[in-house]
């Protein structure tokens, strides 16, 4: 079954600290893996897209890693800010079938002062 599992479900960190969010997937065939940020009450916004051959990709203070062999990805946030408070969603693209994207349920991150 095509699934994307994210952990933890929720996380609270102090402003300025780093954190890492995890994503494990069992999706086939694999096309690419995406991380989205979704602020409360808004639509998701893309942070990174990684193909099979990419191990790491950065977008400012966000760094995503991908291990296609173990089917794991992580999103590392450096020097967190209050504005990082959001849900982070891991998405794997199959680019086929009637569910071309398989979405994780997200990790809810709260950054507090």
> And the tokens for 113?
């002062």
Give me the sheet containing 56-59, strands edge to edge: 3-7, 19-26, 72-77, 62-67, 56-59
Applying CB under 8 A, among 18, 100, 110, 112 the residue interacting with other proteins is 100
Q: Does 86 sit near other proteins (CB under 8 A)?
A: no
Q: Does 32 sit near other proteins (CB under 8 A)?
A: yes
Rounded least distance, CB 18 to other proteins, Å? 26
**How many other β-carbons are positioned within 10 Å of the β-carbon of residue 37?**
21
Distance separating alpha carbons of residues 7 and 17, to the nearest angstrom: 18
Q: Does 103 sit near other proteins (CB under 8 A)?
A: yes
Of 20-28, 67-75, 76-84, 102-110, the segment contacting other proteins by CB under 8 A is: 102-110
Tell me which residues in 12-31 interact with other proteins (CB under 8 A): 31
Applying CB under 8 A, among 25, 33, 35, 44 the residue interacting with other proteins is 44
Give Cα 34 distance to the centre of its chain: 6
Residues in the site for other proteins, rule: CB under 8 A? 4, 31-32, 34, 41-46, 49, 89, 93, 95, 98-101, 103-106
């Amino acid at each position: 079954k095509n699934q994307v599992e994210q952990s933890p479900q929720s996380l609270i960190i102090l402003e300025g600290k780093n954190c890492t969010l995890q994503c494990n997937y069992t999706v086939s065939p694999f096309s690419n893996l995406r991380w989205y940020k979704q602020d409360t009450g808004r639509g998701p916004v893309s942070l990174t897209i990684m193909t099979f051959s990419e191990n790491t990709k950065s977008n400012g203070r966000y760094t995503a890693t991908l291990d296609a062999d173990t089917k794991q990805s992580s999103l590392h946030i450096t020097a967190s800010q209050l504005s990082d408070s959001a849900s982070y969603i891991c998405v794997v693209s199959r680019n086929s079938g009637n569910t071309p994207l398989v979405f994780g349920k997200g990790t809810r991150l709260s950054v507090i002062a």
